[in-house]
Amino acid sequence: MDGSKEKIILNVGGIRHETYCSTLRTFPGTKLCSLTEPNASTLYDYNPTTKEFFFDRSAQLFGYVLSYYRTKHLHCPVDTCRSVLEEELAFWEISDAQLAPCCWLKLTNKDSQPEEFNVWDENEHADDQCLIVQVERRDFSWRARWQPKIWSIFEKPFSSLSAKCLAIISLLFIIGIVIIFCEETKAQYEYSAANLTIFGHSDVIHSIHEPYYHQAPYLLHLELFCVLWFTFEFSMRFFFCPDKKKFLRNPLNVADFLSLFPVYIELFTAEQIQKMPNLALWLGFVRVVYLLKLLKIFKLIETPLILRVLSYTLKSIIREICFLLMILAFETLFFGSLFFYSELLGIHSSYRADMHFTDINICFWWALITLTTVGYGDIIPFTIFGQVIAAFAAIFGMLTIIIPIPIFLVKFKGYYAIAITKQKLKMSKKQ
């Protein structure tokens, strides 16, 4: 009998398939190709009565595998899970890289699930897992016994009634410190404006007008009272946190730590501040971190799903954002330099004496404002060449900002669909 006409019977999942041995030899080194070897009946489940090989695998997917040997084009069903398909292909010793582009795109859009997003659910319970591990170490010290309770009270507002009360007290202190900060800014402005209006130079400022905290000492006392509470709260959270490295990597915790210093520095360096009024202004600048404490309000309410998805989307495209900023920086330097020399050449050629900029750094400022389509109008081009450069800068700025938007929307849509699916699965498990 002609070898090319020799047939073989395969029983996969109860469905019998009959094909030529030459078809299975299309891809050497695969499992189906090894069935054509003489000793195949001893290696695999072979029934000599029916003269067929039996495999307890998916009959539906095997039809596509056999079609791959016939046509050399690997396709898959629309409703196939990617992990199931990869498992079947691995069993038949076929690489998933052979998948046709049309089916590859369908699977990628349907079943792709980035690793960054898989960590989402794990992060929500990471602290609890750290505490469980510490308890399993059989550490019977008082700190090990009280750490889960105290950490939950200070970090998880909805864990108990005492945690809710503590969260409300902390919220009142945060609102109070923000109000005090606003009042201090008014006093600092009045103090600085009065000194600058009367004298105009700083060597005699402190000799006539007292600092703002001498005119309104109650503000400093109230601020000190609030900061003492924040110091106690930060110390407890840091001492009882399960993972101190992770705690210090949190930007909000760093802001809490920095917000403790301005009042203490102002108290211990009162005499130096009277001699150097600018130091008080710098301490006031550091006090801006008080406003970051308002973000803790989100702990008192459940963070909307769309905001959590937004944060993970930004993390996933951080590389694209950095590349975009590099392009924007290059455009700023390029168009700023062109604008600088075009205006200089135009002024010299027309014998104009007025200069609306002093150095190239101001031109870089103009370029950045123009590229971002803000356009304050404080610097405008007077020459024709400068106006042409300004037009191109505005066009390139719009393109630089608009082009990455579809990338962000596509990733956000995929993450949001996955998040909705996970939320439905959680609700169904609870029910």
What is the reported pTM? 0.56
Query: Is residue 311 in some structural domain?
Result: yes
Residue 316 and residue 286 share a domain: no
pLDDT band at 10, cuts 50/70/90? Answer: very high
Q: Looking at residue 215, what is its pLDDT?
A: 55
Query: Is residue 218 in some structural domain?
Result: yes
Most confident of 43-57, 173-187, 288-302: 43-57
Share of the chain above pLDDT 70, in %: 74
Can you give the CATH number for the domain in which 178 is found?
A: 1.20.120
pLDDT band at 202, cuts 50/70/90? Answer: very low
DSSP state of 74: B
Can you give the CATH number for the domain in which 357 is found?
A: 1.10.287.70
- Which three-class secondary structure string do you get for 131-198? HHHHHHCCCCCHHHHHHHHHHHHHHCCCCCHHHHHHHHHHHHHHHHHHHHHHHHHHHHHHHHHHHHHH
Query: Is residue 27 in some structural domain?
Result: yes
pLDDT band at 198, cuts 50/70/90? Answer: very low
Centroid of chain to Cα 295 = 17
Of residues 73 and 428, more confidence is placed in 73
Query: Distance between CA atoms of 295 and 388, rounded to whole angstroms?
Result: 44
Amino acid making up residue 37: E
What is the DSSP secondary-structure string of 256-316? HHHTTHHHHHHHHTHHHHHH-HHHHHHHHHHGGGGGGGGGGHHHHSPPPHHHHHHHHHHHH
Q: Looking at residue 206, what is its pLDDT?
A: 42
pLDDT at 333 over 90: yes
Of residues 376 and 91, more confidence is placed in 91
Q: What are phi and psi of 105, to 5 degrees?
A: -65, -40
Query: Is residue 205 in some structural domain?
Result: no
How many structural domains is the chain composed of?
A: 3
Query: Is residue 126 in some structural domain?
Result: no
Give residue 377's region: left, alpha or beta (phi > 0; psi -120 to 50). Answer: left
Residue 263 and residue 293 share a domain: yes
Most confident of 177-191, 341-355, 382-396: 382-396
Average pLDDT over every residue of 243-253: 84
Query: Is residue 133 in some structural domain?
Result: no
Range of the domain at 149: 145-199+210-302
- Which three-class secondary structure string do you get for 327-389? HHHHHHHHHHHHHHHHHHHHHHHHCCCCCCCCCHHHHHHHHHHHHCCCCCCCCCCCCHHHHHH
Query: Is residue 127 in some structural domain?
Result: no
What tens digit of pLDDT does each residue of 71-116 get? 988 888 877 888 888 899 899 988 877 888 777 766 765 555 544 4
What tens digit of pLDDT does each residue of 35-55 get? 988 888 888 989 888 889 999
Within a 10 A sphere around the Cβ of 206, how many other Cβ atoms? 16
Query: Distance between CA atoms of 321 and 294, rounded to whole angstroms?
Result: 27
For the chain, the C-alpha Rg in angstroms (whole number) is 35
What tens digit of pLDDT does each residue of 394-422 get? 999 999 888 888 888 888 887 887 778 77
Within a 10 A sphere around the Cβ of 10, how many other Cβ atoms? 19
Q: Looking at residue 69, what is its pLDDT?
A: 92
Tokens describing residue 246: 């992770």
User: Which of 280, 302, 324 is at the close of a domain?
Assistant: 302
CA 307 → CA 282, 311, 404, 416, distances in Å? 34, 6, 20, 10
Residue 232 and residue 90 share a domain: no
Residue 398 and residue 342 share a domain: yes
Most confident of 88-92, 260-264, 351-355: 88-92
pLDDT at 128 over 60: no
